[in-house]
Amino acid sequence: MDKWKTFVRQQPRNYSIFVMFTALTPGVNCPICRPAYEEFQIVANSHRYSNPDHKGVYFALVDYEDAPQVFQQMNLNTAPVVYHFSAKLSGKKKPDQMDFQRHGYDADAIGRFIADMTEVQIRVLRPPNYAAPVVIGLLVCLVLGFLYMKRNNLEFLYNKTSWGIICLIITFVFLSGQMWNHIRGPPFIMTNPQTRESTFIHGSTQFQVRRTSRIS
Query: Which CATH number characterizes residue 88's domain?
Result: 3.40.30.10
User: 61 - beta bridge partners?
Assistant: 20
In a domain, 76, yes or no: yes
Q: What total of structural domains would you count in the chain?
A: 2
- Same-domain pairing of 100 and 172: no
**Residue 203, domain member (yes or no):** yes
Which pLDDT does position 131 carry in this prediction?
A: 78
User: Letter for the amino acid at 151?
Assistant: R
**Amino acid at the residue 193:** P
Q: Is the pLDDT of residue 206 over 60?
A: no
**Is 26 among the domain residues?**
yes
pLDDT bracket for residue 150 (50, 70, 90): confident
**The last residue of a domain, from among 126, 149, 178:** 126
Share of the chain above pLDDT 90, in %: 19
Question: Is residue 12 domain-shared with residue 83, that is, in the same domain?
Answer: yes
Task: Of 101, 110, 99, give the one whose Cα is nearest residue 43.
Answer: 110
For 109-137, letters b (16+ CB in 10 Å) and e give: bbbbbbeebbeeebebeeeeeeeeeeeee
Q: ω before 68 within 30° of 0 (cis)? A: no
Residues 51 and 104 in one domain: yes
In terms of domains, do 11 and 109 share one?
yes
Boundaries of domain holding 170: 159-216
In a domain, 131, yes or no: no
**Is residue 37 in some structural domain?**
yes
Phi, psi for residue 200 in degrees, rounded to 5: -100, -5
Based on the fold, state whether residues 182 and 109 are members of the same structural domain: no
More confident residue, 122 or 204: 122
Q: Is residue 134 in some structural domain?
A: no
Q: What is the pLDDT of residues 8-60, one digit of tens each?
A: 877 778 889 999 999 888 877 788 888 889 999 999 999 988 887 788 899 99
Confidence (pLDDT) at 176:
66
Contact 61, 37 (CB under 8 A): yes
Are 115 and 183 members of one domain? no
| Statement: residue 81 has pLDDT above 60 | yes
Does 15 share its domain with 65?
yes
Q: 204 vs 135, which has greater pLDDT?
A: 135
| Inside any domain, residue 136 | no
Q: What is the mean pLDDT of residues 173-179?
A: 69
Residue 111, pLDDT > 80, answer yes
Pairwise CA distance, residues 11 & 85, whole Å: 11
Q: Are residues 89 and 6 in the same domain?
A: yes
| Measured distance CA(94)–CA(104) in Å, rounded | 21
Question: What helix, strand, coil percent values describe the chain, rounded to 5?
Answer: 45, 10, 40
Mapped onto helix, strand or coil, the DSSP state of residue 188 is coil
